[in-house]
Chain A
Amino acid sequence: DTGVSQDPRHKITKRGQNVTFRCDPISEHNRLYWYRQTLGQGPEFLTYFQNEAQLEKSRLLSDRFSAERPKGSFSTLEIQRTEQGDSAMYLCASSFDSGLAGVSYEQYFGPGTRLTVT
């Protein structure tokens, strides 16, 4: 296992087009997170999954954004009708959560997908 992988690494699209990104987490990890990072900012939380269930969505995640994790393994993030403001690095992270209260586990990040909307 080489860690969290993301595909594609770079995507250039025209405004109004739809794009889809894929994240493959570390195999035994049950939690998967999506973050967005714009220039000069730290990563901002978008949404996360516990297995296949999407448990939280940030208000940053507009109606044009949708994320899935159909079998509790890989996840996809789709952006419909892209806008120039969607240009950013989209980061995926995964971790294992045992469910024990007060125990936290490291989030492992992928290399990111850089989206440019022209």
Chain B
Amino acid sequence: AQRVTQPEKLLSVFKGAPVELKCNYSYSGSPELFWYVQYSRQRLQLLLRHISRESIKGFTADLNKGETSFHLKKPFAQEEDSAMYYCALRLYGGSQGNLIFGKGTKLSVKP
């Protein structure tokens, strides 16, 4: 069965420090991987997806099929990055399109 694992419930860093939020998935086929973010009192929104290969708000994520990982990284964390981050998987080209989410990691960036 497909599964997304985010091993850290909480990650606390100081402003300006590098941050890496870990995500591992289990799926034998070709997955689509996403990072969603939820800021305080806001709705869940897409941060980035692996097929776009883009950097959003300084965040990047590389799909590593060998390690089945899609870790989210930012070299210098900002206080406004504090939020809940969810890694999600979708079966590539699957007709369903529904997302499988991890349990999420709460990122806290201290001043």
Contact = CB atoms under 8 A, between A and B. Distances in A.
Q: Is the interface of A mostly helix, strand, loop or mixed?
A: loop
Contact of B93 (A31, A55, A102, A112): A102
Given A42-B102, A106-B46, A110-B43, A97 B97 contact: yes
A44 B101 contact: yes
The main secondary structure of chain B at its interface with chain A is loop
Q: Number of contact residues on B: which range applies?
A: 20 to 34
Contacts of B104: 41-42
Contact of A109 (B44, B51, B98): B44
Interface of B: 4, 9, 32, 43-46, 49, 51, 86, 88, 90, 92-93, 95-104
Interface of A: 3-4, 31, 33, 35, 40-45, 48, 55-56, 91, 95, 97, 101-102, 104, 106-112
